[in-house]
Structure 1
Amino acid sequence: MASEHENMLMSMSPSVLHPRDMTEAWTFKKLLDSDAVYVAGGTLLRTQWESGQAAMPKHLIDLSSIPGLKGIEKEEHSLAIGALTPLSECRKDEHIRLHCPMLVDAIRSIAAISVRNVATIGGNIVSRVGDCLPVFIVCQADFEWNTGLSPMTEDASEWTERLQAQLPKASHLLTRIHLPLFKTTEIVPRRFGAFHKVGRREAFTPSLITVALNGGLKADGTVGEIRVAAGGGQTIPHRLFAAEKLMKGQQINRELLAAVHQTIVDGYKPKPDPFATEAYRKKTAANLIVAELWKIAAGPSDEGRERDDP
């Protein structure tokens, strides 16, 4: 016979619903509302339940068997990434490694290999604080959602900015990420991009700070395009518009970088937690961004792009 403790755990376990398609999944969520959550890999959800950060729902809507939500396809001007594609598959994909190596850098900093084999790219996004989000923001990615009526596409930056003021529509189901393919042009002959994360320990830890940059330099060395985003911890990542405006059309030099540093310290609004002060997060974000800009101004390095962990 089951013990009293086992019976209690069984009574607490949520029921699992297995929708056959996206419409049925959306219908379940719409009917059950806050009593149900979408789940695929479930790695972050399990962590939140175990730590008491979130209550275990009455129902789980398992998305893992819904066709069309996994895989990576190269389109004419973008990469289409299914929301249920595991992080490890994204990190190894040849198209992502070629066209967006900073997304590879972001993924390799997330948890351990065993977790990345299960966790999905969509789960990292809808957590609202995932380490990949700054990359998608600066790369002008579009998020495609199933709203129950018709698909809706929203720019990653616009989505995260809206999250600063309101919660996302709970029933909306993320189905695909469209990641643009950036190319050099006569106007912007040199492109750059970078991602950096600072955690509480050396590896596989929740972030304190995450930053990402994406842009291009004109032939005369001035900044032609620039997007900068910062997040980390429980801070919803967002663009640093004031710093971008300051750099647009300017030569990267010491004077500009000093001004950019101060602008980031003044404008970045990290969410506090017990692990690091607001002042530390601001200064660290500014240091990471300015250091990367200094490397960009110095010109391409001979460092190899291939970095990997076991």
Structure 2
Amino acid sequence: MSALWGADDFSQEKFDKQQQQVEELVAECMTKEGFEYKPSVHSGMAILGGEEEDGPVWGSPEFAEQYGYGIVDFPGAGGESLQPDPDEYVDPNQTYLDGLSESEQEAYWETLHGPAPTEEEMAAMEDSEGGYFEYDWKKQGCYGAAQHEVDSKENPSFGAAEDPEFKDLFTAMQDLYAPLMGEGDNKTIAELDRKWLDCMTKAGYTEYSSPNQIRQALNNEYFSEMQEPGPDGDYKEPDEKAKKEFQKKEIAVATADARCKKDLNYDAKQQEALFEIEQKFVDEHRAKLDALLAKYGAEKKK
């Protein structure tokens, strides 16, 4: 799949260039809809990479004892922010926004980013595993349309997932790693998770069904439950006392998890089972995969 997506060819320079193209398309779209919009010069994101941070290896018992799962804190967390400094960043459209009425501002934001989720969509999001609902660029306003156009032009393989010829293939891919979340019928991983669960139960933790589920549950607890919206509607981080209390729990759970996995040689056995799952998938879908790479991977190989 790396031949399809060309992950090794992605850099900060390329991202910034594509993001600027997005901003220019957004400006054109907003103008057509009757609004003014000045493209932002900030990409708002940094591509991580380069030298490795000092500290224990992610996922190791040593990492768990010091950082847990890396939710509250992790090596290098005190470094340069990935987002523009809110005290320094100036929205080029703020003056224009300030001149609009409340109803005009609502129309502006809906045109820019699409309508807010409906009650039905919010309910579906809350009921879904992990709290997400399917992204649809057609419902994301000018930004969604601009992002889709740039992705389709700059990354030819982006359209692969939307190609009706390969719809069934990508649907099958979505279910490929279900056993890693404690789902599916892979006997090897199910038995491994059962032994892991027995170990965690002895350590005093009975509410988690698999290592991946435990990490997701703690992430949801921290980012969904602890970060409550403030009076202005913006989400604010919990205070230091709450963060320390959560991190104490995070480290305790992660340490027990890491010890259980080490005793069971969990990671190596899971990887072996995963290779078998992937090989079976490739064998069963070889013709479609070859056709996919022939149609969308050629540009990446030039």
Same fold flag (TM > 0.5): no
More helix by share: 2
> Which structure has the larger Rg over C-alpha atoms?
2
More strand by share: 1
TM-score normalised by L of structure 2:
0.23
